[in-house]
Structure 1
């Protein structure tokens, strides 16, 4: 069940609440078991949603979840204040340092990474013209919320708080969370960066990784020494449900603490490259081939049993020749036939290993490399355990024997044009010789 918190002390919250009530056929009941200012009084219900109104500002509403009937997710419909123009934004709540604005020091409400990612999608779908969509770091209370929760906000000043289009967009986005699970297996906890977290917003938008609690640079400064804040960091990880961490910036001490808590630190590249790839396959191949940071890149054949894949070596000389002819095409074609490949130069150059569903699939990769040779050589064929490539090309030695001086005439002959030397015509065919290269397949 989705629980929605509306604060009467927040005009934007009241405005969003009005639009929520207008968008669906709610039932109204009276709850006399608790004070009106603490979520009692008139309560509005749909079969899977409950909306309650409170007297205090949201950031002071610790234990607000206790007013609801067994919610799976709690959403605080709130205003956003700042010099950011028209903005729809969402964030989790907690304090990496002192609790200046609600909650407790070093404490966190439970995050809802999956529904947080979903509400950002809904914002992009419903945002009125002129509104930006973004996410914020974790930065205020309440912290004593034991069900997954987040703030969903309309900003950034009075012009937007009273804007019916903005309020309706927030209301529609909140209702889009009905039936959406709050948690996601692929969840990162974030450290570093700005308050509005563009790197983490990009990860949520472009990968299948969600983000739980997020400490901006200023929050890490407020937290203090990572070694002395181990408990805070552990709680941020646990209350996010995170399996990985992303650290923005050079923070080796923080990374050591995070890794020591059993949460692997990964990069934005890692999040992007592992999108859609089974994590058991990622773990096996990073152990057996290379890490993503060291050049492992996944292919199109990741729908395989990780335990049954095979790591195969590609012939060095043949691979080097194929890369020299069409490196982009070779990499794309090999990735299309592999579960993963090793690469160099920032993932742009195929290196010597690939991961295939079965050893026999190495043959398809060999054919890709052979095919690339045909883009340069006149004839390419296999004989036994090697590939033979032949071409007829300009031979400088034959040109010299014909009396052609080195210089522009060499260039004209090489490009297939006849030249005249001492009144004699030298035809390009007379200074061409067949060349042969052999590439072992073992």
Structure 2
């Protein structure tokens, strides 16, 4: 026995899929027997160790400590297992372990094992790639069954759903290769809430974005979650944020859950937020979100493709710093009401991030990677707003003040001259004269002039 800390693959003689995976692992590399005196069958290859046990995998409480006592310390435990399902579909799954409520299948009630989210991402994506020409679905599962007291990061990888798949050599080979292709990543980690047992939205996010997941709770388990269990999930996932499958839960569930998550100091990112930040270092996203909390507590960042490219091409800095500039909120609001589409195009055409409120309105904050870029973008945005206003109304700019003069049809004035709502209102609003009781009513008689002053310089 080497006594080295290794990636430890635990297989059971009682589990036919586990034996299939073990046999394929042994066929892939030149493993050396290394179990003398441990009570286990042990094989080692470089940084990996196979440990074969005789008991069911889901009841391996305290296995990490037992391995340590035997001189077989594990840095990561991968349980190679079968997945059982009544539908009998061909499926390869990855999941964390623990129990949100009752411990019907190993582990302890309301206890979670330490998750291995980076391994979850690597294994799931490798399974997807390797099974491309096979008829296997690849998916996450929500956190379930034991063991729940494992303090070393651990993960289950499974072949399902019945004996046909458990014994399928192709499936065993795919899982074995995925394990041996394990990559140490540094992806942002989410705790997942909501969805079905197979967590389809969380699975898609791992395949399509740069994040990963620790513990995941399905919609049917949300009612049993309390503050203590949620704290445990974040701690044992080493998580950065929460992701809610919002469409899978009721509004009251979202509100209750959101309040609990925020009370323990974590924030919730929507799927659009996650996809928006894809490809951007998490440290930068964290800076960005913290700055927005400070300036616009109800705002959400929007990261344009151009600033993403600039961040990724920044070779001289590990994590670019957030620089902020602002324009007059009144100016931005006036222009947005007149031509939001044009403003959206402007924002996406610049190397910036910007801020949106929950109702979709733009905030007056511009974010860039250096102060000059932020300032220049803010100046150009202000000019764009003025240009939009000039197109729709009379505008005068003098000494940092912008005066908007608008002439609008006044229904009250028209009614005071005896005109009822109807076709005549429309004609007057279009600038045409109308006749009533032999009297000509000109548009200027029913129009009011409004003037508004906006301070252009924002302090």
Following TM superposition, by how much is the alpha carbon of 1:352 offset from its aligned partner in structure 2, in angstroms?
3.7
Secondary structure of the residue aligned to 1:72 is strand
Unaligned runs of 5+ in 2: 1-5, 312-316, 392-396, 403-453
Residue by residue over 1:236-289, the C-alpha shift from the partner in whole angstroms, topping out at 9 and shown as x without a partner, is: 222111232234434233433333333334433333334424312221123213
2:358 aligned with 1:342: no
Task: Judge which range, 264-273 or 128-137, deviates more.
Answer: 264-273
- Normalised by the length of structure 1, the TM-score is 0.73
The size of the alignment, in residue pairs, is 380
Q: For the structure 1 residues 336 and 112, does the alpha-carbon distance in structure 2 shift closer, same or farther, using more than 3 Å as the test?
A: farther
CA RMSD of aligned residues (A): 3.9
Alpha-carbon distance between aligned partners in 2 of 1:269 and 1:335, rounded to the nearest angstrom: 16
Alpha-carbon distance between aligned partners in 2 of 1:358 and 1:15, rounded to the nearest angstrom: 59
Alpha-carbon distance between aligned partners in 2 of 1:80 and 1:200, rounded to the nearest angstrom: 19
Alpha-carbon distance between aligned partners in 1 of 2:297 and 2:158, rounded to the nearest angstrom: 42
Alpha-carbon distance between aligned partners in 1 of 2:455 and 2:38, rounded to the nearest angstrom: 81
Q: Which residue of structure 2 lines up, in the alignment, with residue 200 of structure 1?
A: 202
Following TM superposition, by how much is the alpha carbon of 1:79 offset from its aligned partner in structure 2, in angstroms?
1.1
**Aligned mate of 1:12, from 8, 17, 35:** 17
Q: Which residue of structure 2 lines up, in the alignment, with residue 272 of structure 1?
A: 275
Following TM superposition, by how much is the alpha carbon of 1:107 offset from its aligned partner in structure 2, in angstroms?
1.2
Residue by residue over 1:136-160, the C-alpha shift from the partner in whole angstroms, topping out at 9 and shown as x without a partner, is: 1011001121211100111122221
Q: For the structure 1 residues 84 and 290, does the alpha-carbon distance in structure 2 shift closer, same or farther, using more than 3 Å as the test?
A: farther
2:230 aligned with 1:216: no
Unaligned runs of 5+ in 1: 388-438
Alpha-carbon distance between aligned partners in 2 of 1:176 and 1:157, rounded to the nearest angstrom: 26
Following TM superposition, by how much is the alpha carbon of 1:203 offset from its aligned partner in structure 2, in angstroms?
2.9
**Aligned mate of 1:78, from 77, 81, 92:** 81
Secondary structure of the residue aligned to 1:111 is coil
Q: Which residue of structure 2 lines up, in the alignment, with residue 287 of structure 1?
A: 294
2:93–2:140 CA contact under 8 A, matched in 1:
yes
Q: For the structure 1 residues 264 and 112, does the alpha-carbon distance in structure 2 shift closer, same or farther, using more than 3 Å as the test?
A: same
Residue by residue over 1:296-328, the C-alpha shift from the partner in whole angstroms, topping out at 9 and shown as x without a partner, is: 312344749887612311586688558856x55
2:33 aligned with 1:29: yes
Q: For the structure 1 residues 324 and 97, does the alpha-carbon distance in structure 2 shift closer, same or farther, using more than 3 Å as the test?
A: same
Alpha-carbon distance between aligned partners in 1 of 2:20 and 2:92, rounded to the nearest angstrom: 14
Alpha-carbon distance between aligned partners in 1 of 2:191 and 2:44, rounded to the nearest angstrom: 33
Q: Which residue of structure 1 lines up, in the alignment, with residue 61 of structure 2?
A: 62
Alpha-carbon distance between aligned partners in 1 of 2:15 and 2:52, rounded to the nearest angstrom: 11
Residue by residue over 1:78-107, the C-alpha shift from the partner in whole angstroms, topping out at 9 and shown as x without a partner, is: 111112611111000001111100011111
Instruction: For 1:41-440, list aligned pairs within 5 A.
Output: 41=41, 43-65=42-64, 66-67=66-67, 69-82=72-85, 83=87, 85-127=89-131, 128-177=133-182, 180=184, 184=186, 186-221=188-223, 224=224, 226=226, 230-248=227-245, 249=249, 250-251=252-253, 252-275=255-278, 276=280, 277-291=284-298, 294-299=299-304, 300-301=306-307, 303=311, 309-313=323-327, 327-328=340-341, 330-343=343-356, 347=360, 350-356=362-368, 357-358=370-371, 361-364=374-377, 366-367=379-380
2:326–2:378 CA contact under 8 A, matched in 1:
no
Alpha-carbon distance between aligned partners in 1 of 2:329 and 2:243, rounded to the nearest angstrom: 37
Q: For the structure 1 residues 288 and 243, does the alpha-carbon distance in structure 2 shift closer, same or farther, using more than 3 Å as the test?
A: same
Alpha-carbon distance between aligned partners in 2 of 1:367 and 1:225, rounded to the nearest angstrom: 49
Secondary structure of the residue aligned to 1:269 is helix
- Normalised by the length of structure 2, the TM-score is 0.71
